[in-house]
Amino acid sequence: MELLKITDNIFLVPGQSSGKYPFSLSIYVKAERNILIDAGIGSKLMSAFVKEYPVDIVLLSHTHVAHLSGLPVLESKTPVFAPKEGSATSGRLEVLAERFIDDVNVRHVYTSLARQVQGFKDTYFSHTYDGRSAFDLGTVRLTALHTPGHTVDHYCFFESDSGIMLLFDIDLDPFGPRYGNPESDIAQFDASIELVRSYEPAVAVSSHFGVLRKDVDRHLNAFRGHFLRRDEQLLERLGKPMTVDALADTGFLLPQHSLVLAPLFRYWQKQMISKHLDRLMEQREIRRNGKEYFKAGS
């Protein structure tokens, strides 16, 4: 299995479907102790990976199923470090589903996808880490940065010698940030992007779009700009009263996806729209009458 070399010690591990959802890419750090960061590349690829590359420690950037579904392939004795903020849900699918999806019908789609496509089986973490943690491997030192917004337990890692920032789901998706869970938060996500920018990374690596070696700060700033742009796009639509469902019908915020994933993507889209509506209400840019929202002054 061929890995993409980022530095002499850090490699990108290819994922099923090129790492696009419902899978992700992983990072392999070859040093005094070999670290695999995230395990959502797909069960078949994970099986091939562990046959060729030793894994002493697993780190999870956050507890979305797309980043941990391959854990059962690893030896049970392998230490697995999960973010402290999400440790209460551990690796139990039903609990994770309750945390990430508050609609019972959509939750069923989520759990079916996890089991049947991602190959998820319940697993348990042996260790936790937090924003005070660093993993010193001699030739590589990874500093954990708590970067909530996408989830409450999302982390990035910075390797100062090479200037590499492991962004995970601050993923520089051309469609912009994703924050479709009840716990997701636009203001926190915005602040997290500014935090990673403050480190002035030379190279960025994301979980779904791979390695970026040029203009990292410009891409991060453009990614951050989607928050304000989405506010403006919503205001344009709210010249007449509209419900969250009606706004979702316009295809706003997220790209079209397969019919199998459509209920999930609609749910996430409505969650994201609602978060923007809440903040526009706080800014008194819009008003509400029952389930309908409209621009103030309309």
Measured CA to CA, the distance from residue 203 to residue 225 in angstroms comes to 20
pLDDT of 157 reads: 98
Q: Is the pLDDT of residue 114 over 70?
A: yes
pLDDT at 125 over 90: no
Please state the separation of Cα 39 from the chain's center in Å: 13
Q: Does domain 4-224 have CATH number 3.40.50.2300?
A: no
Confidence at residue 250, expressed as pLDDT on a 0 to 100 scale: 86
In the predicted structure, residue 258 carries a pLDDT above the cut 70: no
Half-sphere exposure (CA, 13 Å, Cβ side) for 126? 11
Distance of CA 65 to the CA centre of its chain: 10
- Give the per-residue pLDDT at 210: 96
Question: Averaged over 110-122, what is the pLDDT?
Answer: 93
What was the pLDDT predicted at 262?
86
Average confidence score pLDDT of the chain: 94
- Residue 259's pLDDT is 67
| pLDDT for residue 181 | 97
| SS3 labels along 254-271 | CCCCCCCCHHHHHHHHHH
Query: Quick one: pLDDT at residue 34?
Result: 95
- What value, to the nearest 5°, has the Cα angle with vertex 250 and ends 246 and 252? 110
Q: What is the mean pLDDT of residues 130-156?
A: 94
pLDDT at 161 over 70: yes
User: Looking at the DSSP assignment, which residues form a beta bridge with residue 29?
Assistant: 10, 35
Q: What is the mean pLDDT of residues 201-209?
A: 97
| pLDDT tens, position by position, 262-288 | 889 999 999 999 999 999 999 999 999
Sheet holding 35-37, edge to edge: 4-5, 10-13, 26-29, 35-37, 57-59, 80-83, 127-129
DSSP 150: S
Q: What is the pLDDT of residue 286?
A: 97
DSSP 63: -
Average pLDDT over residues 252-263: 73
Distance CA 21, CA 118 (A): 10
- Comparing C-alpha atoms, which of 75, 178, 174, 168 is closest to residue 123? 75
- The better pLDDT of the pair 41, 132 is held by 41
Three-state DSSP state, 136: strand
The yes-or-no verdict on residue 126 having pLDDT over 80 is yes
Cβ atoms of 43 and 119 within 8 Å: the answer is yes
Residues 6 or more apart in contact with residue 174 via CB below 8 angstroms: none
Average pLDDT over residues 195-207: 98
Helix or strand holding residue 114 (H, E): helix 104-116
Tokens 């791979």: give the residue. 210
Q: How much of the chain, in percent, has pLDDT values that exceed 70?
A: 98
Give the tens place of pLDDT for each residue, 219-237.
Answer: 999 999 999 999 999 999 9
Q: What is the average pLDDT across 133-141?
A: 89
